[in-house]
Structure 1
């Protein structure tokens, strides 16, 4: 049986590269890297590859649409502090802080949308 151990990266297609980079690098603090003309946002041992047009690199997903992602990012920062920082950047909170169940148990989450409309859940696990 195949044993998957972690998520390495996902691909986000953006309509507005500059706004996308502002949100993920400047607001959320991810590291922007560029290798051979390919852009990515790195955090921990994962990354988000940024494509500036559908199917920029092949093979690609079959139905590529900017704003169709819904994913969760983990933080060690208190979510009230995260909320305050998002407010300072003018990022609207979609929902939260609310309790959710993550892959490893109970967590607190808040939800925002990036400039393309992707739903970004920012979560912190509760101490067990």
Structure 2
């Protein structure tokens, strides 16, 4: 089975993926996203977003805003963007990129962490 393409609005949305690999485009606003299972691609616009990928090898892009990104199980790729972001890869070999701003990146296992421009902290 294949996942869905899920598109949010320019306002604040709560979006939930399927058990399969989804493409989720949040749009702007303070969004809450749960990717569900599968290898998801999640892209959120400006706003203070809370994004959880779930199991699978997820690609999550927060963009502008003070975002909280969590990959969950799997080998995830998380990118914060502009703002004060918090990134947690979870189990697996994850890649975390804070982007510009004062970011907090949490390491769990053999992850690759890159803060980017700004005063970042990397926590084990």
With structure 1 as the length reference, what TM-score do the two structures score?
0.23
Greater percentage in helix: 1
Q: Which has the higher contact order (CA 8 A, sep 6+)?
A: 1
